[in-house]
Structure 1
Amino acid sequence: MALRFCRNTPLCAAFTSACTRAALLSSLKPVLFYSTSVISAKKEVNGVSLHYQQTGRGNHGVLLLPGALGSGQTDFGPQLKSLNKDHFTIVAWDPQGYGCSIPPDRNFPLEFFHRDAKDAVDLMLALNFSRFSMLGWSDGGITALIAAAQYPFLINKLVVWGSNAYVTEDDIKLYNAVRDVSKWSERMRKPMEEMYGAEYFAKTWAAWVDCICQFAKRPDGNICREVLPQIHCPTLIVQGLKDPMVPNFHAEFLHKHIKGSRLHLMPEGKHNLHLRFSEEFNQVVEEFLLQ
């Protein structure tokens, strides 16, 4: 089971100490250390201390981008554990205000996806990756789409799932239906409250819903429609046909507007298909990245 980290708790403090120890160990261990272990550390990027996890020793760098309020550890446990560590060096990051990249507290200006895209790319450059691939889930997929369009010379390949380039009125209904976290099931709510504390989680989630709904007021509900034709790297779009949060037409739109992209459908997949069906997902992604 993935370890959850609480904001401003002894557990989070212990985790911060563990990050420091891991960073020190990384300077002492041989390269093989990275092939079997996940190190945790922080890097100063654009004035923010960004937390990340890294594993593997392959020549192909891969950045994992989590969804809304997610972190590398909570959103990508099966990928950190099982993606091929001989072929790939895998980095999972916490965007500012998420996971252990606090402070600062998270905020949501309308351009927050572009801010995250710059932070993500600059983090990988700071970690000495001159070229890398991106795997983005949900909000992380939107961030990855923007990064691939804005930094084409840096991005090798792109995989996105549960992502959308615009917001419709039907989407707004879906978001508002889950705005009140007190109505979530305990199974869904508890891990986030353990990570952030109940108050920060509820406040930050409501702020995310408010911001996403604002996109619907833009022409065509635009988030990043205009960047899709600018994506030239090989792109794989994965869609769960039972995704309750991001309907299938969003994946079809991405596939239509990203030239040469591939669309892989998972009939039983929901929004968290990479967790529920991690073996199939990892295999599809590895085959795509290694082609």
Structure 2
Amino acid sequence: MTPNTTSAQIDINGQNLYIHYRNNHPNRPTLVFLHDSLGCIQLWRDFPEKLAETTQCNVLVYDRLGYGKSAPMPTHERPVDYLTEEATVLNELLAHLEIDQAILFGHSDGGSIALITASNYPERIKAVICEAAHIFVEEVTLKGIREAMEAYTTTDLAVRLQKYHGDKVDTLFKAWTLTWTRDDFRNWNIEKLVSAIRCPLLFIQGEADEYGTLDQVTKTISLVSGRSEQYLIPNIGHTPHKEAPELTLNAAKQFIETL
């Protein structure tokens, strides 16, 4: 595509998605940012642009269906393999934008989507940076989700989220919490997919992550077929790019420079 900056709604396989795409560095990779289960473009703040600028990469950030400025989800009910479905949408988005040197940066749910995409569509993916990703369900994750459910009814969490998601908040919150706490989701596991990943991978995690243990990191690192490394940050929770932005930025920059 010709160099440009686009912020627009686009249709991907019937899904109306809002994207921000800056394609100003010909023949350079594109950093693709995948938000978490309550996230959106806005909630990344300036982190994507900072990493793109310091690495001289193009950058794509988008709101998944039901989030931010994208169209609403038709229902909060999700299948167990909804993250695999999101990876399919991402692959179609990359094809639509003619991106074939993607460096995926995914946080939480977005990290899991990044891993699945690298496994299922390796021809488009140059590398993966996953931050606080999950490859299986842990009790600590479910505990964190149940606490979020309590906060949603007893604090102003819903109001704060509404600022970013509008009237889609209830649906997206249920889509996350009710899916992950369902009995049939307890056995969700993508370890077989992870073992097929051959591109370089960096796993960033806060050592005090309230939604996942370091088992997520060590198992992912041990399973992938390609080069892999971890970056653990002491006293940091589930969102290193917000809680320790400079450390996270530097770790990602150093990793990208080795590619």
Shorter-chain TM-score range: 0.7 to 0.9
What is the CA–CA distance in structure 2 between the aligned matches of 1:94 and 1:106, rounded to whole Å? 17
The reply on whether 1:263 has 2:234 as its aligned counterpart is no
Q: Deviations over 1:21-55 (max 9, x none)?
A: xxxxxx9xx94x64xxxx41122111112111123
What is the CA–CA distance in structure 1 between the aligned matches of 2:200 and 2:184, rounded to whole Å? 29
How many residues align? The count is 252
The within-5 A match list for 1:43-82 is: 43-55=10-22, 57-58=24-25, 59-74=28-43, 76-82=44-50
Shift, 1:137, TM fit: 0.2
One-letter identity of the residue aligned with 1:51: Y
The reply on whether 1:173 has 2:143 as its aligned counterpart is yes
What is the CA–CA distance in structure 1 between the aligned matches of 2:248 and 2:185, rounded to whole Å? 34
TM-score (norm 1): 0.79
- Match in the other structure for 2:195: 229
What is the CA–CA distance in structure 2 between the aligned matches of 1:286 and 1:106, rounded to whole Å? 38
Mapped contact 2:207–2:236 kept (Cα < 8 A)? yes
Q: 1:173 to 1:268 in 2, by over 3 A?
A: closer
One-letter identity of the residue aligned with 1:277: A
Mapped contact 1:159–1:238 kept (Cα < 8 A)? yes
Q: Deviations over 1:52-98 (max 9, x none)?
A: 11236231111100000311221x22323312436200000111111
Mapped contact 1:97–1:106 kept (Cα < 8 A)? no
One-letter identity of the residue aligned with 1:182: T
What is the CA–CA distance in structure 1 between the aligned matches of 2:190 and 2:60, rounded to whole Å? 24
- Match in the other structure for 2:219: 253
Shift, 1:217, TM fit: 5.2
- For 1:64, what is the secondary structure of its paired residue? strand
The reply on whether 1:159 has 2:144 as its aligned counterpart is no
Percent identity between matched residues is 21
- Match in the other structure for 2:170: 202
Correspondence for 1:183 among 136, 146, 154: 154
- For 2:103, what is the secondary structure of its paired residue? strand
The reply on whether 1:287 has 2:251 as its aligned counterpart is no
Mapped contact 1:149–1:228 kept (Cα < 8 A)? yes
Q: Deviations over 1:141-170 (max 9, x none)?
A: 011110000011110000001111111334
Mapped contact 1:215–1:223 kept (Cα < 8 A)? no
Shift, 1:249, TM fit: 2.0
One-letter identity of the residue aligned with 1:228: V
Mapped contact 2:140–2:213 kept (Cα < 8 A)? no
One-letter identity of the residue aligned with 1:142: S
- Match in the other structure for 1:41: 8
Q: Which has the larger radius of gyration?
A: 1
- List runs of 5+ in structure 2 lacking aligned partners: none
The reply on whether 1:109 has 2:75 as its aligned counterpart is no
- Match in the other structure for 1:10: none
Mapped contact 2:66–2:168 kept (Cα < 8 A)? no
One-letter identity of the residue aligned with 2:153: S
Shift, 1:216, TM fit: 6.2
- For 2:59, what is the secondary structure of its paired residue? strand
Mapped contact 2:31–2:52 kept (Cα < 8 A)? no
The within-5 A match list for 1:22-37 is: 31=3, 34=5
- For 2:123, what is the secondary structure of its paired residue? coil
TM-score (norm 2): 0.88
The structure showing larger relative contact order (alpha-carbon pairs under 8 Å, at least 6 residues apart) is 2
- List runs of 5+ in structure 1 lacking aligned partners: 1-26
What is the CA–CA distance in structure 1 between the aligned matches of 2:185 and 2:30, rounded to whole Å? 37
Q: Which moved more, 1:238-247 or 1:79-88?
A: 79-88
- Match in the other structure for 1:150: 120
Q: 1:191 to 1:56 in 2, by over 3 A?
A: farther
Mapped contact 2:136–2:188 kept (Cα < 8 A)? yes
- For 1:153, what is the secondary structure of its paired residue? helix
Mapped contact 1:98–1:106 kept (Cα < 8 A)? no
